Structure 1
Amino acid sequence: MKLKIAFATCVQLGLSCIEEIYRIGGNLDLLITLKDEKAKNKSGRIYLDDIAIEHNAPLLKIDNINDQEVLNALKEYQIDWLFIIGWSQIAKKDVLKIPTYGCIGMHPTLLPIGRGRAPIPWPIIKGLEETGVTMFKLDEGVDTGDIIGQGVIKLDKNTTATELYQKVDEMHITLISKYWDDIVNNNITLAKQNEGEATEWPGRKPEDGEIVVGMTMDEADKLVRAVTHPYPGAFYNNGDKTYRIWSAKTNKDEGEIKLRDGYLIPIDYVIEG
Structure 2
Amino acid sequence: MLMKKKVAFATCVQLGLSCIEEIYRIGGNLDLLITLKDEKAKDKSGRIYLDDIATQHQVPLLKIDNINDQEVLNTLKEHQIDWLFIIGWSQIARKEVLEAPTYGCIGMHPTLLPIGRGRAAIPWAIIKGLEKTGVTMFKLDEGVDTGEIIGQGVIILDKNTTATKLYQKVNAMHITLISKYWNDIINNNITLMKQNEDDATEWPGRKPEDGEILSSMTMDEADKLVRAVTHPYPGAFFKVNDKTMRIWSATTYKDEGEIKLRDGYLVPIDYEIEGE
Report the TM-score range of the alignment, normalised by the length of the smaller protein.
over 0.9
Question: How do residues 170-249 of structure 1 correspond to structure 2 at under 5 angstroms?
Answer: 170-249=172-251
Equivalent residue, structure 2, for 1:143: 145
Equivalent residue, structure 2, for 1:20: 22
Superposed displacement of residue 252, structure 1: 4.6
Equivalent residue, structure 2, for 1:267: 269
SS at match of 2:188: coil
Superposed displacement of residue 230, structure 1: 0.2
CA contact (8 A) 2:255 2:265 kept: no
Superposed displacement of residue 214, structure 1: 1.3
Whether 1:55 aligns to 2:72 is no
Question: What is the aligned length?
Answer: 269
SS at match of 2:190: coil
Equivalent residue, structure 2, for 1:65: 67
Residues in 2 aligned to 1:160 and 1:135: alpha-carbon distance in whole angstroms? 23
Q: Deviations for 1:49-96, whole angstroms, at most 9, x for unmatched residues?
A: 000000000000000000000000000000000000000000000000
Question: How do residues 43-192 of structure 1 correspond to structure 2 at under 5 angstroms?
Answer: 43-192=45-194
Residues in 1 aligned to 2:50 and 2:37: alpha-carbon distance in whole angstroms? 10
The structure 2 residue matched to 1:38, chosen from 37, 40, 55, is 40
Q: Deviations for 1:196-232, whole angstroms, at most 9, x for unmatched residues?
A: 0000000000000000111000000000000000000
Partner amino acid for 1:23?
Answer: R
Partner amino acid for 1:186?
Answer: N
Residues in 2 aligned to 1:253 and 1:199: alpha-carbon distance in whole angstroms? 38
Q: Deviations for 1:145-186, whole angstroms, at most 9, x for unmatched residues?
A: 000000000000010000000000000000000000000001
Partner amino acid for 1:140?
Answer: E
Residues in 2 aligned to 1:197 and 1:165: alpha-carbon distance in whole angstroms? 24
SS at match of 1:144: coil
TM-score, reference length from structure 2: 0.96
Superposed displacement of residue 253, structure 1: 6.2
Partner amino acid for 2:247?
Answer: I
Residues in 1 aligned to 2:251 and 2:189: alpha-carbon distance in whole angstroms? 50
| Identity, % of aligned positions | 86
Residues in 2 aligned to 1:253 and 1:44: alpha-carbon distance in whole angstroms? 38
Give the ranges of 4+ consecutive aligned residues of structure 1 lying more than 6 Å apart after TM superposition.
Answer: none
Residues in 2 aligned to 1:8 and 1:28: alpha-carbon distance in whole angstroms? 11
Partner amino acid for 1:47?
Answer: Y
SS at match of 1:224: helix
Superposed displacement of residue 263, structure 1: 1.7
TM-score, reference length from structure 1: 0.97
Residues in 1 aligned to 2:95 and 2:251: alpha-carbon distance in whole angstroms? 48
Uncovered stretches (5+) of structure 1, i.e. residues with no partner: none
Partner amino acid for 1:175?
Answer: L
Change (3 A) 1:109 1:252: farther
Residues in 1 aligned to 2:231 and 2:242: alpha-carbon distance in whole angstroms? 24
Residues in 1 aligned to 2:5 and 2:265: alpha-carbon distance in whole angstroms? 59
CA RMSD, Structure 1 to Structure 2 (Å) = 1.1
Residues in 1 aligned to 2:255 and 2:179: alpha-carbon distance in whole angstroms? 46
Partner amino acid for 2:89?
Answer: W
148-157 vs 245-254, which moves further: 245-254
Residues in 2 aligned to 1:93 and 1:26: alpha-carbon distance in whole angstroms? 27
